[in-house]
Amino acid sequence: MIRMENVTKAFGDNQVLQGMSLEIPKGTSMVIIGGSGTGKSVALKCILGLIKPDSGMIYVNGKDATKGDRDKFLARFGMLFQGAALFDSLPVWQNVSFRLLRGPLKRPAEYAREIAIEKLRRVGLKSDVADRFPSELSGGMQKRVGLARAIAAEPEIIFFDEPTTGLDPIMSGVINDLIREIVTEMGATAMTITHDMSSVRAIADNVAMLHGGVIQWTGPVGQMDASGDPYVEQFISGSAEGPIEAVR
């Protein structure tokens, strides 16, 4: 379980998070929606400890996420970054099985390669991609390699930052199904950021809307359409009219 309590974060005088509170029960899939630049990525990075919040508390499985053994803490996490963040000095397969090629989890290279190819297949990539370098792939392919890397170690908690942005509708469907599958089969706790409403409906158990640095609305995905919340309604309809300004 993940719990954020009153988390605030500012960059200079840019107040990004202004008291964000959110709870994600174990083994469920939470989707965060909200306009671009509202701080969704910052929120994920706060939980991972990549960004230090100015105030507020973050708990993972009841323990303060900012204290304790970081390596052990991060060993349970998988993260897909918004820009994929692949290591461009390494070929694709070494990106995917990065953990297996060095450090405490080191395995023979052939084994690591097999695992990488299997994970690549799961995100809809053929094995001939394995030996290419990230810079030789399209944005959508890089995103999927990033996804394969995030799930490679079968983590308990997985964060996906805009997993389907830049993908065609068919590939989006494949990725949505995969995320759903990871949650139901592996029992993982997932937190996904997306702007794609069809993704929201396919992936989410619960939805939270971030706006103005706080969670404006949160609830089960089934209640989203009848939320009565003007922010959520505007986001779903994609209208320029409403409480969310079109110029931000």
Partner 1 sequence: MNPLAALGGLGRAVLTLFANFGKVAIFALDAISHIFRPPYYPREFAVALMNVGWLSLPVVGLTAIFTGGALALQIYAGGARFNAEAVVPQIVAIGMVRELGPVLVGLMIAARVTSSIAAEIATMKVTEQIDALVTLSTHPMKYLTAPRVLAALITVPILVGIGDIIGIAGGYVVATENLGFNAATYLLNTVNFLEVKDIVSSLVKGAAFGLIAAVMGCYYGMNSGRGAQGVGRATKSSVESAAIMILAANFILTGVFFSV
Q: Which residues bind Mg ion (CB under 5 A)?
A: 41, 82
81 binds, among partner 1, ligand ADP, Mg ion, none (CB under 5 to 8 A by kind): partner 1
Q: Whole-number minimum distance, CB 75 to partner 1, in Å?
A: 5
Residues present in the chain in total: 248
Nearer to ligand ADP, 36 or 135 (CB): 36
The closest alpha carbon to 150, from 55, 246, 48, belongs to 48
The entry of partner 1, ligand ADP, Mg ion, none near residue 77 (CB within 5 to 8 angstroms by kind) is partner 1
The answer to whether 122 and 148 have CB atoms below 8 angstroms apart is yes
CB of 103 to partner 1, least distance (A): 5
Residues 13-42 touching partner 1, rule: CB under 8 A, are none
The whole-angstrom separation of Cα 184 and Cα 199 is 16
> Using an 8 Å Cβ cutoff, are 141 and 166 in contact?
no
Least distance CB 74 / partner 1 (angstroms): 5
Size of the site for ligand ADP (CB under 6 A): 11
**Closest distance between ligand ADP and the C-beta of residue 47, in Å?**
12
> CA–CA separation, 164 vs 3, rounded Å?
25
Phi, psi (5° rounding) for residue 141? -70, -40
Residue 65, token pair as written in the block: 């996420």
Confirm or reject binding of residue 36 to ligand ADP (CB under 6 A).
yes
Residue nearest to Mg ion (CB): 41
> Residue 41 or residue 199: which is nearer to Mg ion going by CB?
41
Strands (E), 26-163: 29-33, 55-60, 63-64, 77-80, 157-161
Place of tokens 């389907």: 164
- Site membership for partner 1, residue 77 (CB under 8 A): yes
> 11-19 contacts: CB < 8 A, separation 24 or more?
15/213, 16/42, 16/213, 17/42, 17/43, 17/46, 17/53, 17/56, 17/213, 17/214, 18/212, 18/213, 18/214, 19/56, 19/213, 19/214
**9 contacts partner 1 (rule: CB under 8 A):** no
> Binding to partner 1 (CB under 8 A): which residues in 40-69?
45, 48-50
CB of 39 to ligand ADP, least distance (A): 4
Which position among 2, 7, 16, 145 is part of the footprint of ligand ADP (CB under 6 A)?
A: 16
Q: Which residues bind ligand ADP (CB under 6 A)?
A: 11, 14, 16, 34, 36-42
Q: Which residues bind partner 1 (CB under 8 A)?
A: 45, 48-50, 71, 74-75, 77-79, 81-83, 85-88, 98-99, 102-104, 149
